[in-house]
């Protein structure tokens, strides 16, 4: 009978400890569920913020490189792009007169495009006219 009483006490004590442990586990589970719910909400908010940031990046990219109906980019018409390409591929200085000859365009047209490129810092005057071997009275242009 003593053995039965001892067994009953042990089982009751073990059951009490087990009950306490299960209670702790339930608390931990609830805490993890709450944390998961908060993280899930944070993740959704971050996704929304990322989408908004990507939209803003795309909007800014479009604003930086607007394309007009005439096909110009950043306001640079085809002639301007051609001038930039020629200067990029040429190691020498080129004058406005030489550009007129190369593109078979009038001085006013070349002047307009070159002035636009200089004003928007795509080109710069790199050598004063008096240092040019041709003595053309113009400045050399290069990128």
pLDDT in tens, 16-29: 777 788 889 999 99
Cα–Cα dist 93/142, whole Å? 6
Return d(Cα 114, Cα 116) in angstroms, integer.
Answer: 5
140 SS3 class: strand
pLDDT tens for residues 28-67?
999 999 999 999 999 999 999 999 999 988 877 766 554 4
For the chain, the structural domain boundaries read 1-64, 78-142
78-142: which CATH number, 1.10.10.10, 3.90.1150.10, 1.20.1250.20, 2.60.40.10?
Answer: 1.10.10.10
Nearest alpha carbon to residue 112 among 138, 137, 79, 85: 79
**Predicted confidence band at 143 (pLDDT cuts at 50, 70, 90)?**
very low
CA dist., res. 123 & res. 19, Å (int): 81
């Amino acid at each position: 009978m003593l053995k039965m009483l001892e067994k009953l006490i042990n089982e009751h004590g073990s059951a009490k400890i087990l009950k306490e442990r299960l209670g702790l586990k339930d608390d931990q589970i609830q805490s993890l569920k709450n944390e998961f719910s908060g993280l899930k909400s944070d993740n959704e908010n971050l996704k929304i913020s990322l989408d908004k940031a990507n939209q803003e990046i795309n909007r800014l990219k479009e604003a930086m490189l607007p394309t007009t109906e005439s096909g110009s980019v950043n306001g640079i018409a085809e002639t301007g792009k051609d001038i930039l390409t020629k200067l990029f591929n040429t190691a020498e200085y080129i004058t406005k007169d030489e550009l007129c000859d190369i593109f078979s365009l009038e001085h006013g047209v070349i002047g307009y495009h070159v002035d636009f490129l200089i004003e928007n810092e795509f080109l710069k005057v790199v050598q004063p006219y008096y240092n040019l071997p041709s003595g053309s009275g113009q400045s050399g242009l290069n990128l």
